Amino acid sequence: MKFIVSSSALLKQLQGLQGVLASNNTLAILDNFLFEIDNKKLTITASDLETTITAEMAVEAKDKGSVAIPARLLLDTLKAFPEQPLTFSVDGKHFGIEISSDQGKYKMTGFSGAEFPKSPVLEDPTTVGMPAGTLGMAINKSIFATGNDDLRPVMGGIFFELSEEAVRFVATDAHKLVRYTRSDISSPKAASFIVPKKPLNLLKNSLAATNAEVSLAFNENNASFTFDNMQVVCRLIDGKYPNYEAVIPKENPNKLSIDRQSFLNAIRRVSLFSNKTTHQVRLNITGSQLAISAEDLDYANEANEMLTCAYEGQDMVIGFNSRFLMDMLTNLDSEHVILEMSAPNRAGILLPSGDSEHGEDILMLVMPVMLNN
């Protein structure tokens, strides 16, 4: 088997796939990329059994065949080349691989492509189309709120809730929650499933570079995302997602409106002086004045800042984890934000103020922390 390919084009494709490679694979064959040649088309696959990514590219080739090539060695080799055509020659019997460049020849040992696990085929899937930019934005704005708790695996992914009216993306770790809704996308039938964080992070990077339409196909066990020359197939998280609507307080009479960037910058500065375990900042709202403070009693550190805001409601003192607030404010785009609150021991709701993108509705929720008076 022999094929010729551009070194930089191949490197670019492999870098899009390398994120799926696990450092502790149960099968040694998964430390390789699977290369399959068929009629001037090269299909490259990487997998960790849970997530499989496939990319296609055009090459000069006459043969058909497949080989598994050591991923790390191939990546490091390609990074060391300037842009040039490379000729890959594969011995079909012993799977020895020879790469010929302008500078010389490089040999490595591959493996039989037949040993590589087959990519899962979705049986009887439901399919929904959505623009790459829309899906990318939904992942970006919600993935930071997913959990890392092995005891609650359902929180380790984004909950996709599809209906004939809209598509909703929900992420929570029980301390913070994001509910992102798009009314400009719909599904032929109502369905819901949980997509793990790893394939979504891989997708996020690839979606940023394309304007394509993404075809999302899913059944009970797997989901696949297909666009341009790439496909990501992943196993869904099994389990029931928590009733997130139940934790969103409906009555929030206290509403604070403030410039998002000023609020974010103030929290960023003040939080440097907060306790390194709780990261607690205190918001003290009286009239149109917002006092933000933090202290670390162990080191006698403290910081205070005053901001002007628009506020309706009772004067209030409430504490939040500054990291959660900063994550949320960073992932909102509006100039001003609204913080809605009902009581110091109830969740705060963060919303963008003013015009949002057409069809977009976003709500972020953050649980308060107990203030040590």
pLDDT one-digit tens code per residue, 207-261: 988 899 999 999 999 999 999 999 999 999 999 999 999 999 999 999 999 999 9
Dihedrals φ, ψ of 320, to 5°?
Answer: -135, 160
Query: Distance (Å, rounded) from C-alpha 327 to C-alpha 156?
Result: 17
pLDDT score at 373: 61
Any idea what DSSP says for residue 225?
Answer: E
Both structure tokens of 136: 């990318």
Torsion of CA 246, 248, 249, 251, to 10 degrees: -110
Whether 70 has a pLDDT exceeding 90, the answer reads yes
Whether 356 has a pLDDT exceeding 70, the answer reads no
CB 105 within 8 A of CB 99: yes
Q: Which residues have CB under 8 Å from 169's CB, separation 6+?
A: 138, 139, 142, 158, 159, 160, 161, 178, 179, 180, 181, 182
Q: How confident is the model at residue 78 (pLDDT cuts 50, 70, 90)?
A: very high
Tell me the H-state helices in the chain. 7-17, 71-79, 132-142, 197-207, 260-271, 322-330
% pLDDT > 90, the chain: 90
pLDDT score at 24: 87
Give the lowest-confidence range in 153-162, 195-204, 277-286, 363-372.
363-372
Both structure tokens of 92: 């079909």
Query: Distance (Å, rounded) from C-alpha 305 to C-alpha 80?
Result: 51
Beta bridge partners of 172: 177
Whether 354 has a pLDDT exceeding 80, the answer reads no
pTM over 0.85: yes
Q: Which domains does the chain have, with CATH numbers?
A: 2-115 (3.10.150.10), 126-245 (3.10.150.10), 249-369 (3.10.150.10)
Amino acid making up residue 38: D
Query: Distance (Å, rounded) from C-alpha 295 to C-alpha 371?
Result: 11
Whether 94 has a pLDDT exceeding 80, the answer reads yes
